[in-house]
Amino acid sequence: MDIKELNLERGFFQLTVPYAWWGKLLWVVGLIMICSVAVSFDYVAIAALGWLLIALTAPKSFETDLREIRKNAQANDELEAQALGQGLEIESWFWGRSSLTPTNDPRDWVLAAPGPSTWDQNAYLPHADGSPLPEHPAKVGTPHPATFTTYGVMMALFVLIGGMLLYTIPKEERGMTVAGVATAATLIWLFIALAKTRIVRQMLDTPTSLVRSAAVGTGELVGQVRPSPAGVLNVVVDGNPDRTVPLCLSFKWEYEVYVCRQVTDSEGNTKTECNWRTVRGDEGSLPFILNDGSGGMLIRPETFKRKDFGGFRKRWESNHADTLLKSLGSELRAKLFSGGDVRKHRWTIYALRMGDPVFVQGEIKPRTNADITAEGIDTTLQNAIVEMVGEDATASKAMLSRGTELSIIGSLRSNMEMLILPLIGSILAVGLFIL
């Protein structure tokens, strides 16, 4: 599939079908569960779970098409060589050490990006002929997901039928616990949906400027991350050189331990509960230049409170900490504070790296004379004497996200699916306390 064949207006309804084999297999299982209701209406609860299974495995409106375009686009050899090794790598069977780099990255370039050998030494200058990069909204447009997809229809059936099943249980048998759990789950779903809906609405409502013509004030830019004179960061995760991630401009890492402990309920039954707990982490940034083809502008990521790196860039797991001393320290803390023991260790890094796509909304401000002089900037380049910082405006919140408008919005659902369904679920859940 070619980008020119991509329909950015998906209309009211779109049937979305899984592209992965495991998704298709789960659909078959879900359909069998749904068909069970034909045998007996007593199986309607099983059918509801079938609707939920199909909903959760249904792709988003643009997901399949963007995946095909990304797969067929010619990858840039230089950026490919700089990328982290993808997939799962077993570093030591004996110590249980492995590393994982996702092979499917929805926030990566959909279309091929220009490589470092084609970049001008002065990153503020236009790229090549000065036209926008292939994936800039000025060239591809802004995607609008379908109002309803397979997910929306199936999730609506699950919410409505599942809610009605709970109402068929007499209030005295239902108990406050059922109502409380249902209300808490749907309200969390609703709050997450509200946050995502606000982000999508802000993206759709704010026009994307070209760097060369961006005016001082609130703005939205999309382009490629290129290093500024400040350079790049080679991040050493938790002090271990074997966990070095190069060419970062903004990052966040965390170290977690998998703690298990024995718990006993009110009836005397004992079971093992396990969860991941964060021990420590770090984050950092350097100024970088966003170049959208028409020119480059300095971005200061350290000023943004809202940074979205998408999925993790790399994750390491081990049955043991890096050293015996650290391992004993982790075990001691686990036993003192939770009465449990540490089973696994995990380090995860999220990062914006050189050559990545980036989407920013913030305040464009003039740079200081001292800054311009120190960097030796050509003041005839208007885009070089301004910078973007993460200051909120009255009508919008500043944000920095890895990805382009196409890849970010293309990986989300419509406002109707994200907001209306959890709203209906919350109303039905609250009603359990009353009816």
Interval 5-52: pLDDT, tens: 888 899 999 999 999 899 999 999 999 999 988 777 778 889 989 999
Q: What sign has the CA pseudo-torsion 220, 226, 229, 233? A: positive
Average pLDDT, the chain: 88
Query: What mean pLDDT is predicted for residues 228-234?
Result: 95
pLDDT reported for residue 137 = 93
Q: Report whether pLDDT(156) > 60.
A: yes
Q: Report whether pLDDT(322) > 90.
A: no
What CA–CA distance (Å, rounded) separates 322 from 110? 37
Contact 197, 418 (CB under 8 A): yes
Tell me phi and psi for residue 163, to 5 degrees.
-65, -40
Closest CA to 404 of 135, 206, 202: 135
Contact 295, 211 (CB under 8 A): yes
pTM: 0.87
Confidence of residue 168 (pLDDT cuts 50, 70, 90): confident
Query: What mean pLDDT is predicted for residues 141-157?
Result: 91
Q: Report whether pLDDT(347) > 60.
A: yes
What CA–CA distance (Å, rounded) separates 155 from 143? 23
pLDDT reported for residue 337 = 57
Interval 236-285: pLDDT, tens: 999 999 999 999 999 999 999 898 888 877 777 888 889 898 989 999 99
**C-alpha gyration radius of the chain:** 25
Interval 62-100: pLDDT, tens: 999 998 888 887 666 666 666 777 777 777 666 678 889
pLDDT reported for residue 87 = 75
pLDDT reported for residue 150 = 95
pLDDT reported for residue 396 = 86
Q: Report whether pLDDT(297) > 90.
A: yes
**At residue 31, what is the residue type?**
L
Share of the chain above pLDDT 90, in %: 53
Q: Does 390 or 428 have the greater pLDDT score?
A: 390
What CA–CA distance (Å, rounded) separates 293 from 208? 14
What CA–CA distance (Å, rounded) separates 108 from 404? 8
Residue 236: which residues within 8 A CB-CB, separation 6 or more?
243, 244
Copy the structure tokens of residue 30. Answer: 């879900």
pLDDT reported for residue 326 = 64
Confidence of residue 370 (pLDDT cuts 50, 70, 90): very high
Provide the CA 369 distance to its chain's centre, in angstroms. Answer: 37
pLDDT reported for residue 311 = 93
Q: Which stretch of 284-288, 291-295, 391-395 has the lowest confidence by average pLDDT?
A: 391-395
Interval 396-427: pLDDT, tens: 899 999 999 999 988 888 888 888 889 998 88
pLDDT reported for residue 366 = 96
Confidence of residue 320 (pLDDT cuts 50, 70, 90): confident
